[in-house]
Amino acid sequence: MSTNQPSSFGAFIHGKAFTSIILTVVFLNAIVIGLQSYPQVNAAYGSLLQSLDLVFLMIFTVEVILKVFVDRTNYFKDGWNVFDFIVVAASLLFISSPFVSVLRILRVLRILKTISSIRSLRRIIISLFMAIPTIGSIALLMIIVFYIYGVIGATFFAEISPNYFGNLSKSLITLFQIATFDDWANIYRPIAETTPLSLLYFVTFIFIAVFVMLNLVVGEIVNNAANIQNEVQEIEKEVHEIKADSSEIALLREEVKELKQLLLEERQYRHDRAV
């Protein structure tokens, strides 16, 4: 019995029921933090909200303690567990500190526990981190494109639109605004009235900087997410095969045990007849 209790307790700690409880507490904590941003609500229910915040912190503390108790040193081998531990420990450390702004930041960071509690969100974040090297190369290419178009804009449109293309700095800021589609048409129209060929400049920049580059970034993240999903499926398949092999081994052991029992009975029967 003593050997089964820790495993069943560990299964509960890592199970869906316990995870759902913690996830619910995370959402409630986020709601309380949001309510405290309203002065009227905070003035009327400030003490209640602070008490709830302390209760949530205690729940997160108990969660960390239980997981450390179950996983021992393996707990700190997971980066998400380390993040949860740091946030909770820092929250306890600054709970009575005069650095109110630091405590507020830590309280908001507790909402990020949602990521560590939901596997699909963790896969997305992992995919994003895996795509960072490629995204860095795409960002470098984008900087080159911005610089080229910035120089061209400052060269040809400085006199026509000095507020937007008066120099390289203004030109780069304007290109960033155009890339976000923020009122770019009003930037383009006055220039187009003087230089109709400016249409080629704006259209090619939007196509390269927005559609091509953005699709490259999204495509890389989706590709990494698909690779992670395939790896997870392969691992699950291997685990399923191992479980199937384990069940077959258990059946073979039972059959061998039955054969041994039959042999013993047969020997006993022959011995009785000989006597």
Residue ranges covered by each domain of the chain: 4-117, 132-230
Residues 101, 144: Cα–Cα separation, whole Å: 39
pLDDT value at position 2?
43
pLDDT value at position 57?
86
Does 203 have pLDDT greater than 50?
yes
CB 209 within 8 A of CB 142: yes
Residue-wise pLDDT tens digits, 12-60: 888 888 888 888 888 888 888 888 888 898 888 888 988 988 898 899 8
pLDDT value at position 1?
42
Distances (CA, A) of 69 to 10, 65, 74, 146, 197: 9, 6, 10, 53, 70
Mean pLDDT is highest, among 21-25, 38-42, 125-129, 199-203, for 199-203
Residues 6+ apart with CB under 8 A from 54: 95
From the candidate CATH numbers 2.40.110.10, 1.20.120.350, 3.40.50.10490, 3.90.79.10, the one assigned to the domain spanning 4-117 = 1.20.120.350
pLDDT value at position 204?
93
How large is the greatest C-alpha to C-alpha distance in the chain, in angstroms? 122
From the candidate CATH numbers 1.10.287.70, 3.40.190.10, 1.20.1300.10, 3.40.50.300, the one assigned to the domain spanning 132-230 = 1.10.287.70
Residue-wise pLDDT tens digits, 84-117: 888 888 888 877 766 656 666 766 777 777 776 6
Residue-wise pLDDT tens digits, 150-159: 999 999 999 8
Mean pLDDT (whole number) for 160-178: 92
pTM greater than 0.75 (yes/no)? no
Burial of 203-238, coded b for 16+ CB within 10 Å and e otherwise, reads eebbebbeeebeebbeebbeebbeebeeeeeeeeee
pLDDT value at position 92?
83
Residues 6+ apart with CB under 8 A from 181: 210
Does 176 have pLDDT greater than 70?
yes
Residue-wise pLDDT tens digits, 212-267: 887 887 777 777 777 766 766 677 677 777 777 677 787 778 877 877 777 777 77
pLDDT value at position 274?
67
Mean pLDDT (whole number) for 198-206: 92
Does 80 have pLDDT greater than 50?
yes
pLDDT value at position 7?
62
